[in-house]
Structure 1
């Protein structure tokens, strides 16, 4: 509702109004301009000037925007973790979904190394994924810098695991595009099937979690992402183990 730029331009009286509004949000939503002015000990014209500084033509528009802001920031009911996982497995326990997981794991097993990308909470999980895959003997790194230079043969035979809830994060899309230009295999994990990241990926795993927000913050669960990362790592390790066994048998001496 109030931007840092707007707050920086407040006068001493504006700060007094701002402070009262923040401390009495529900009362202000139904006050008249004169009532607010009396509560803050300022004049109605001062309140009107305050409204114009925050992008409103008058006090009525300010109240309308304030009520909308309160509705958007109202804490909503949080879905339990058990319900989240139950929904995820119900939606994804299909033969096609299982095949995509196995195909993606095979692509990772064939790659020389794995590179994780993502930002925000997805970036935290990308860093976890790189550590987890490395524990399963596949060299993996997480590129945190969205402007990291990506070019050359080092990225030719790599598997890129891109994480994004929306699938529309600009920094992640830019990184994935550069990897794709250099011959990387793209595996994305998103919450929506119809998004840019899924469309440009070689393999996409969608977890279809119910979107959740508290105020302006996206708190959509990431439990399915953890499951998918660990499942991919273990399937990859199983495939690498089979490959090693096959090589061992082929190289055994004949009598």
Structure 2
């Protein structure tokens, strides 16, 4: 409801009003402006100035926005429909998907260094990916810190596998750009090809799963990503055992 820039623009009186509204949202949506002024110990002029800083024409519009915000914050049920994953498994067997998997295998097989990148839940997947590949004899590392310095000259023959559900999160896109500038080949694993990260990648693999969110978090299932990681890791391992195999 309130972003950092809006809060930083408030003076001392407006901050006291912000504090009251934050703690009494359920009451404020039913108050008249004079009632709020009395309860928060500020003038109606301060309230109107506060509303303008929240990009509202007046107190009535502010209450409408606050009510919509509260409705959006109510917990929603998360689907546990197993057909979502089963549909993904059907797509896995399509020739188009297999071509992408095989291209990723060849890129990683030929690379001297493999780097897995992600933040948040995707950072956990990056850690798992690096460990799983290393366990299957393709030593890999991971980056789960969006501010990790990407320097050095040892990335020319490397592949960076970058995870992001939306493919629009600023930090992974910035890291992909930095790695690309270091001549690392980029493989993106996202929920859709129609995103910035997929577009700047050398190879994009998308799983197209219905997204799911709670009030504050993306809880889209990551089973498809685990499947993709393990499938590629096993294929790369087998390629090393039988170099003449045609993938």
Taking structure 1 as the reference length, the TM-score comes to 0.78
Post-superposition Cα deviations, 1:40-75, rounded to whole Å, max 9, x if no partner, equal 677655654554564544211211221222233333
Shifted more, 117-126 versus 232-241: the winner is: 117-126
Q: Tell me the CA shift for residue 244 of structure 1.
A: 9.2
- Distance in structure 1 (CA, Å) of the matches to 2:193 and 2:6: 39
Shifted more, 51-60 versus 231-240: the winner is: 51-60
CA RMSD of aligned residues (A): 3.1
Listed as ranges, the gaps of 5+ residues in structure 1 are: 246-255
The SS at the match of 2:138 is coil
- Distance in structure 2 (CA, Å) of the matches to 1:91 and 1:70: 38
- Distance in structure 2 (CA, Å) of the matches to 1:17 and 1:114: 48
Partner of 2:149: 148
- Distance in structure 1 (CA, Å) of the matches to 2:148 and 2:167: 18
Q: Tell me the CA shift for residue 137 of structure 1.
A: 0.9
Aligned length: 243
1:121 aligned onto 2:121: yes
Post-superposition Cα deviations, 1:169-196, rounded to whole Å, max 9, x if no partner, equal 3332333234334443321101111122
Q: Decide whether the 8 Å contact of 1:17 with 1:47 is kept in 2.
A: no
Partner of 2:201: 201
Partner of 1:93: 93
- Which of the pair has more CA radius of gyration? 1
- Distance in structure 2 (CA, Å) of the matches to 1:179 and 1:88: 30
Q: Decide whether the 8 Å contact of 2:146 with 2:172 is kept in 1.
A: no
Taking structure 2 as the reference length, the TM-score comes to 0.80
- Distance in structure 2 (CA, Å) of the matches to 1:149 and 1:46: 48
Q: Tell me the CA shift for residue 220 of structure 1.
A: 2.3
Q: Tell me the CA shift for residue 124 of structure 1.
A: 2.3
